[in-house]
Amino acid sequence: MRDIVLLALAGAAAGALNGLIGTGGGIVIVYAVGRMSRASPLADRRDVFATAVASILPISAVSAAIYAAGGVGLPRAAAGAFVPAVLGGAAGGLLLDRAGGKIVSAIFALLVMWAGLCLLLRASGVM
Q: What is the pLDDT along the chain (127 residues), one digit of tens a residue?
A: 788 888 899 999 999 998 888 888 888 988 888 888 766 654 677 888 888 888 888 898 888 888 888 888 777 777 788 889 889 988 988 888 788 778 888 898 899 899 999 989 999 998 8
The CA–CA distances, whole Å, from 34 to 65, 81, 104, 111 equal 29, 30, 13, 17
What is residue 69's predicted lDDT score, i.e. its pLDDT? 87
CB within 8 Å of 97: residues ≥ 6 apart: 46
CB within 8 Å of 23: residues ≥ 6 apart: 17
Domain ranges of the chain: 2-123
Task: Give dist(CA 91, CA 117) in Å, integer.
Answer: 27
